Amino acid sequence: MSQKQWIAGINAVSASIEHDAANVREVLIEAGAKNPRLTEIETAARRADIDVRRVASQALEGVVGNLRHQGVVARYAAAKTWSENELEGLIEAADGRALVLILDGVQDPHNLGACLRSAAAAGATAVIIPKDKAVQVNATVRKTSAGAADSVPVIPVTNLARALRDLQKLGVWIYGLAGEAETSLYALDLRGNVALALGGEADGLRRLTRETCDQLVKIPMPGGDAATGVESLNVSVAAGVTLFEAVRQRG
């Protein structure tokens, strides 16, 4: 991404300064704010030679709109953009323990941000998203991810099915989550090179993605059925469950 954007919120701005200060162009902090974390952000920004300005709250609202800013925003030139060509190097560097999250058509930026936060916390190797018909990493995603959007490689791909086949050639076993699957997530061995594929909010995994996965599995839901009205988990919750089952198995 070459365009500049505004990011908002204490965690998002703090993480950007920590992980990618070269791309933070300016930090605006609410004048008169007493939160000590804002002082920490100001100190860190000045140490990194980033311009800092104290401005009225209305000025912050003017640049980020309805996004909750918590007294700080930053003008950002975006973190490193990962390309499909770098995926092989990331898998090889994982030394047989790659953990990849694949999100097939997530539309809600809050869901994507939450998925990235879980992926970063789980130490995921990469997150793969389609370039089309899916939300991309934007200011809302960055804020929701609490900085994780800058610490886990997010790789937008032109053709998701082709990217999955490339993963398979690299020795990555791909499990797709589907409610109708027979095999339980908890019956799997997730200790090697593994990719976990989750679908979008409305339709789940697309047909071609399903067909490309090595196996479809489900998260057991003893209380989930049409009668209770709970037939599936939110994609961000499902991502957390699956990622941390892999973490549990890996010790």
**Chain segment 88-145, per-residue pLDDT in tens:** 999 999 999 999 999 999 999 999 999 999 999 999 999 999 999 898 887 678 778 8
Q: What is the C-alpha separation between 251 and 55, in angstroms, rounded?
A: 47
User: Does the pLDDT value for residue 82 go beyond 50?
Assistant: yes
**Chain segment 2-18, per-residue pLDDT in tens:** 345 788 899 889 988 88
Rounded mean pLDDT, 46-65? 92
**Chain segment 138-185, per-residue pLDDT in tens:** 767 877 887 777 789 999 999 999 999 999 999 999 999 998 899 999
- Taking alpha carbons only, the member of 123, 185, 173, 179 closest to residue 148 is 123
User: Does the pLDDT value for residue 28 go beyond 70?
Assistant: yes
- What kind and span of H or E run contains 12? helix 10-20
What pLDDT score was predicted for residue 1? 35
Q: Following DSSP, what letter does each residue of 82-146 receive, concatenated? A: P-GGGHHHHHHHTTT--EEEEEES---HHHHHHHHHHHHHTT-SEEEEESSSS--S-HHHHHHTT
Mean of the per-residue pLDDT values for the chain?
Answer: 89
Q: What is the C-alpha separation between 175 and 218, in angstroms, rounded?
A: 10
What pLDDT score was predicted for residue 3? 44
pLDDT confidence tier of residue 241, bands split at 50, 70 and 90: very high
Rounded mean pLDDT, 21-25? 85
What pLDDT score was predicted for residue 186? 97
| Burial of residue 93 (number of CB atoms within 10 Å: 0-12, 13-18, 19+) | exposed
Token couple for 8 = 């908002």
Q: Is the dihedral of CA 153, 158, 160, 162 positive or negative?
A: negative
Greatest mean pLDDT among 59-63, 78-82, 177-181, 209-213: 209-213
pTM above 0.85, yes or no: no
What pLDDT score was predicted for residue 78? 62
End-to-end CA, the chain: 36
Provide, rounded to the nearest whole percent, the portion of the chain with pLDDT above 90: 66
Token couple for 31 = 């004048």
What pLDDT score was predicted for residue 81? 76
Q: Following DSSP, what letter does each residue of 23-92 receive, concatenated? A: GEEEEEEETT---HHHHHHHHHHHHTT-EEEEE-HHHHHHHHTTS--TTEEEEE---PPP-GGGHHHHHH
What pLDDT score was predicted for residue 212? 97
Q: What is the C-alpha separation between 236 and 154, in angstroms, rounded?
A: 16
What pLDDT score was predicted for residue 229? 44
Of 76 and 126, the one with more pLDDT: 126
What pLDDT score was predicted for residue 133? 87
pLDDT confidence tier of residue 227, bands split at 50, 70 and 90: very low
Of 103 and 34, the one with more pLDDT: 103
Number of CB atoms found within 10 A of residue 168's CB: 16
User: Does the pLDDT value for residue 26 go beyond 50?
Assistant: yes
